[in-house]
Structure 1
Amino acid sequence: MKKSAGLVMYRFKDEQLELFLVHPGGPFWAGKDEGAWSIPKGEYLPGEDPFEVARREFLEETGLVAEGEFLELSEIRQPGGKKVKAWAFAGDCDPSAITSNTFSLEWPPRSGRFAEFPEVDRAGWFESGAARVKILKGQLPLIEELCLLINS
């Protein structure tokens, strides 16, 4: 079973909770918005420290170093079966300034041509209600738990 680890960065702006989400890059996700956003995360292998993987993936997908106090969230299971372990932390950034690593994909399919795509093509801050609509359905429990834990 595949396992991923990630981080949920949050902030309060004008006393309103906002969550930092990323939009996956590549042609499959290009026209999708609601229900397509994610927390920065990535898969890890047995023996790897999920927290260290979460910090590494956050850096690779955003170009930002995650620092501060981290709040451990409950592990969730997405509809496809993948388990996701996440931590939340307070932070701030300019979403337009993120930099993401890339991946290679044959595009168009079966064309024999490969193209490079960013793992994350954009990021944004969303108040908690909007984040609930934007995030992948399987990751919604992470937002719900965070909102309960920080009373928002």
Structure 2
Amino acid sequence: MIAKLKELLRESLGAPADGEAGGGHDLRLATAALLLEMARADRDETEQERRAAGAVLARHFALEQGAAEALLARADSSLEHTVSLYEFTRVLNDTLSPEERREVVRLVAEVAASDGVFDKHEQHLLSKLADLLHLRRAEYATIRASVLRSTDALD
């Protein structure tokens, strides 16, 4: 019975079955969770940030907007049941190249800046994610500066 419950939970959260490697589906869920966590970083998830997270997902993974919204809903559920971002960053570290991980950090920064404000909580989370994804400080700084320039977000 516990095995069935675990399997149901695994399916609902999009986690791989025992022995499976993280596939594209898990990669999308992990990315969506990080985008959503950034939208909440300043303790004020705005509709603009939520829409930006959906748009980033749709664009990056070539999803229809409805599919991106469904993925965000699943990520929301996953975040409720987790105590750490490590489980999401682990999937990305195990699956993506360094260049692809830099792109994920750029996408997360884009969500942070989407409301025109890049506050200290968002900066801290972005720095933490960059560390968890094994980016060098210089890479993080370059990504952050690039996103700030492109969106004219305030500090």
Higher normalized strand content (fraction of residues): 1
Q: Same fold, TM exceeding 0.5?
A: no
The interval holding the TM-score normalised by the smaller chain is under 0.3
TM-score after normalising by structure 1:
0.26
TM-score after normalising by structure 2:
0.25
